[in-house]
């Protein structure tokens, strides 16, 4: 019991660090990928703006209570997680016992890395153009990012799932929907590369540069300061 009490603060500190990193750094990476894909697919940017306007109107910003009603926004977020998972190789797992998975033998105490990037682009799991940005595949679908559907695992699954999932997902939903609702976005010229950079986090190689114009009245943004 004494050892558990001594290790308690260290455990909580590690947990809170995981929550903050999972809910902030990875969230900003996903938002950047989503904006890059939407800039390349302006028809989807327009669809999202129309959906948000029908739910929220033009006299306020998107609030957390609106998120469940934004089916197209959530479909775009799922598609972004599928194509550009923030952790391409998920947190390492360890097999406690020897197991047979498909035709492969996983020995006991082996370190197992799950390739979420490859799963998201697997033609058997996603038969309809798996390498293309098609958020419509999630419209009317029950597939979610909570770790129950193994073809979409941006936050992992089970006991090793990301503890920052609720915070991270809400951050992505709120920030992305308000960026789209509040502004019009255009490429100043040309297109950017959608290649991934090296590193543990799946970052985009090019800096996302866009021309931004106010879409809502200035008073909507002024209300946020009060």
| Residue-by-residue pLDDT tens, the chain, 226 positions | 334 444 567 767 766 666 665 555 678 889 999 999 999 999 999 999 999 999 999 999 999 999 999 999 999 999 999 999 988 888 788 888 998 988 889 999 998 888 999 999 999 999 989 999 999 999 999 999 998 899 998 888 877 777 778 888 999 999 999 999 999 998 877 677 788 877 677 888 888 888 899 998 877 776 665 5
Q: How far apart are CA 128 and CA 85, in angstroms?
A: 19
Question: Residue 3 has what pLDDT?
Answer: 42
Q: Which residues contact 177 (CB under 8 A, 6 or more apart)?
A: 48, 52, 62, 66, 67, 70, 73
Q: Which residues contact 181 (CB under 8 A, 6 or more apart)?
A: 49, 52, 53, 56, 61, 62, 215, 216
Q: How far apart are CA 137 and CA 195, in angstroms?
A: 22
Q: Where are the beta strands (DSSP E) in the chain?
A: 93-94, 99-101, 104-106, 111-112, 183-186, 211-214
Q: How far apart are CA 199 and CA 20, in angstroms?
A: 19
pTM exceeds 0.75 = yes
Q: Could you give the domains of the chain?
A: 14-223 (1.10.630.10)
């Amino acid at each position: 019991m004494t050892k558990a009490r001594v290790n308690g603060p260290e455990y909580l500190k590690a947990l809170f660090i995981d929550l903050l990193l999972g809910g902030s750094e990875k969230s900003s990476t996903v938002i950047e990928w989503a904006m890059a894909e939407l800039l390349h697919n302006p028809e989807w940017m327009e669809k999202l703006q129309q959906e948000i306007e029908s739910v929220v109107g033009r006299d306020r910003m998107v609030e957390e209570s609106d998120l469940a009603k934004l089916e197209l926004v959530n479909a775009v977020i799922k598609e972004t997680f599928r194509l550009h998972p923030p952790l391409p190789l998920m947190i390492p797992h360890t097999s406690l016992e020897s197991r047979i998975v498909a035709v492969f033998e996983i020995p006991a105490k082996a370190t197992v890395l799950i390739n979420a990037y490859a799963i998201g682009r697997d033609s058997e799991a996603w038969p309809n153009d798996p390498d293309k940005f098609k958020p419509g595949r999630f419209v009317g679908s029950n597939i979610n990012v909570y770790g129950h559907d193994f073809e979409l695992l941006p936050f992992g699954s089970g006991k090793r799932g990301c503890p920052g999932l609720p915070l991270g997902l809400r951050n992505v939903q709120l920030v992305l929907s308000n960026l789209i609702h509040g502004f019009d976005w255009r490429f100043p010229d040309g297109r950017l590369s959608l290649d991934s950079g090296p590193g543990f986090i799946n970052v985009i190689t090019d800096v996302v540069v866009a021309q931004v114009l106010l879409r809502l009245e200035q008073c909507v943004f002024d209300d946020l300061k009060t």
